[in-house]
Amino acid sequence: MALVDVWFVLIAVLWTGYLCLEGFDFGVGMLLPVVARDEADRRVALGTIGPVWDGNEVWLLVAGGATFAAFPEWYASLFSGFYLAFLLLLVALILRGIALEYRSKEPRWAPVLDRVLTGSSLAAALLLGVALANIVHGVPLDADHEFTGTLLTLIHPYALLGGVTTVLVFALHGAAFLALKTDGPVRERAATVAVTAGLGAIPAGAAFLVWTLVDGAPVWIVAPVLVAALGLAGGTLAAVRGRSGRSFTATTVAIVAVAVTLFGSLYPDVLPSTTDPAFSLTVVNAASTPYTLTIMTWVAAVVTPVVLAYQAWTFWVFRRRLTREDVVDAAH
């Protein structure tokens, strides 16, 4: 396997990690008004992601940095063409961070910040799905690999379906996470919401993945599509039976399978051109020099295990379920 292929896989892995980890963060934020009826419930729900959400966001920064270093042409075309869309996504992420950090420091503003958190989480999940769908579907590129469309070019049925699917899958993922990490009223409501979200995520995800197959994906993509379908169905069924651990595991598997489907459908392109296939960016014409990729590979081989070990340790330390008694005792 050439280094360009290795780095395409590594970037896909980084995006997969981000979708799995930040996915339940977005889900918790979106579902906050549904699962929490008072301040104690809200503290319980937000306490599940409080120690980890900023660490989960690092995966996005690393994915963007790796794309810039390994495939600068891809990065340039992507961020120039998706400029307004990514700006909206960045604003949503900033607002979400402000809401999470300041609601406990400014109690008077907590109700407003809670609404900001819910809205920004929903917007970020939607925009992320729209962006990924456009990357897989392709955008108008000219012979110089420059984006020739507008913001409206990125808004079409397949992209919108991708955004809706992402929202519903993250809602299911977040509900399963809350059911796993809490006890008491929040857990009961989260289990109920997980079933409802699953009943929406299954048909939306099936339609999106089938459309991806019809759009020209290779035959082997059928396998991860089936895994994703089983994951969504299994996660919903486990939620019905009150098996929160199995539900969260199944939704995680589903998200991984969806990521494999999207990046597997994309390869060997990194950004297809709808103007002319000859103008598409590929892992070859968008890549950095072999020397750059070699140095990056050595750095990644040393740093990646350390980062993974630290994140695993963080989740282990904060593994216990949260209850209303925990947050009341902490407040006093």
C-alpha span between 78 and 24 (Å, rounded): 26
pLDDT above 60 (res 319): yes
What pLDDT is stored for residue 207 in this prediction? 94
Q: What is the mean pLDDT of residues 110-120?
A: 93
- Longest C-alpha distance within the chain, in Å? 65
C-alpha span between 168 and 189 (Å, rounded): 17
pLDDT above 60 (res 332): no
What pLDDT is stored for residue 327 in this prediction? 74
pLDDT above 80 (res 331): no
pLDDT above 80 (res 328): no
For the chain, give the mean pLDDT: 91
Tokens of 133: 């769908």
- Amino acid letter for position 191: A
What pLDDT is stored for residue 96 in this prediction? 94
Nearest to 235 by CA among 24, 53, 69, 8: 24
Answer whether the bond into residue 268 is a cis peptide, omega within 30°: yes
Query: What is the band of 1 on the pLDDT scale with cuts at 50, 70, 90?
Result: low
- Amino acid letter for position 255: I
C-alpha span between 294 and 287 (Å, rounded): 12
pLDDT above 70 (res 229): yes
- Yes or no: say if 113 and 103 are a contact pair by the CB < 8 Å rule: yes
pLDDT above 90 (res 214): no
- For 48-97, the pLDDT digits (tens) are 998 888 888 889 989 999 999 999 999 999 888 888 889 999 999 999 99
What pLDDT is stored for residue 149 in this prediction? 85
Q: What is the mean pLDDT of residues 149-169?
A: 93
**Residue 282 DSSP symbol:** E
Half-sphere exposure (Cβ direction) of 171: Cα atoms closer than 13 Å: 30
C-alpha span between 214 and 296 (Å, rounded): 36
Q: What is the mean pLDDT of residues 15-27?
A: 94
How much is the pTM? 0.94
C-alpha span between 273 and 140 (Å, rounded): 5
